[in-house]
Amino acid sequence: MARESIRVLVVEDHHVVRQGLVALLNVVEGLEVVGEAADGVEAIAQFRKHLPDITLIDLRLPRLGGVDVIQRIHMETPQARFIVLTTYDGDEDIYRALQAGARAYLLKGMTTEQLIATIRAVHSGKLHIPPEIAEKLARRMGAEDLTPREFDVLEQIVRGKSNKGIATELEISEATVKTHINSLLGKLGVTDRTQAATVAIQRGIIPLESLEKPTP
């Protein structure tokens, strides 16, 4: 008796990439794409409809981000298995995805063989974290989390705001801004604002899409 195919849901907002993945996986013996989605809200609906064995999901999605999708589905279906497939390798992205419940994290430059092997490994109950990703995750796990207010201050630093500008934006005193900056510099392991902004972007602490939106 033939084994049942591994049922896969593909969640990717770029049409050409999504269709390429669907076409690729559908010709692999033992794999079957049962659904696809172009945004986070649609991803949840498609998951509920098909209950796939494996969900391939990008992190940057319209309407609802990949991490939020993973968290919400895991609340309903704890056994759901996700593989993050993304172009982003910032350690904050990795940390958030794995904390949400992802079982594997792959960059879109991976080979077809790596993708298929990862799908089969995760389906069998294994985790799959490539060595270079594991190294970034280890660094993140050793870092101290920023407070929500420190995060707000860091985002304003990345936007190029002065201490006075940050104080006005966040409706706090300049002295309080300086206190938050000193604290976040220590947590990020940097010595000045420029380094803090660079690290925030490199590690994915401040998502680039958030910078595209003007502050209110």
Q: Distance between CA atoms of 202 and 208, rounded to whole angstroms?
A: 10
DSSP 60: S
Structure confidence at residue 14 (pLDDT): 93
* 3-state per-residue secondary structure call for 133-188: HHHHHHHHHCCCCCCHHHHHHHHHHHCCCCHHHHHHHHCCCHHHHHHHHHHHHHHH
Nearest to 126 by CA among 179, 70, 206, 54: 54
For 6-141, CATH gives 3.40.50.2300
For 148-211, CATH gives 1.10.10.10
184 and 203 in contact (C-beta within 8 Å)? no
Give the SS3 label for residue 6: strand
| pTM (two decimals) | 0.67
What is the helix (H) or strand (E) element at residue 202, kind and residue range?
Answer: helix 193-202
| Own/partner long-range contacts of 130-137 (Cβ < 8 Å, ≥24 apart) | 130/105, 130/106, 132/89, 133/89, 133/94, 133/105, 133/107, 136/89, 136/90, 136/91, 136/94, 137/91, 137/94, 137/95, 137/98
Distances (CA, A) of 36 to 40, 50, 56, 81: 11, 10, 9, 15
Structure confidence at residue 142 (pLDDT): 46
Q: List per-residue pLDDT tens for the chain, 216 residues long.
A: 346 899 999 999 999 999 999 999 999 999 999 999 999 999 999 999 999 999 999 988 999 989 999 999 999 999 999 999 888 766 677 778 888 889 998 888 889 999 999 999 999 999 887 777 766 666 655 456 788 899 899 889 988 999 999 999 999 999 999 999 999 888 888 889 988 888 887 777 776 666 655 554
Q: Distance between CA atoms of 38 and 24, rounded to whole angstroms?
A: 17
Per-domain residue ranges of the chain: 6-141, 148-211
37 and 83 in contact (C-beta within 8 Å)? no
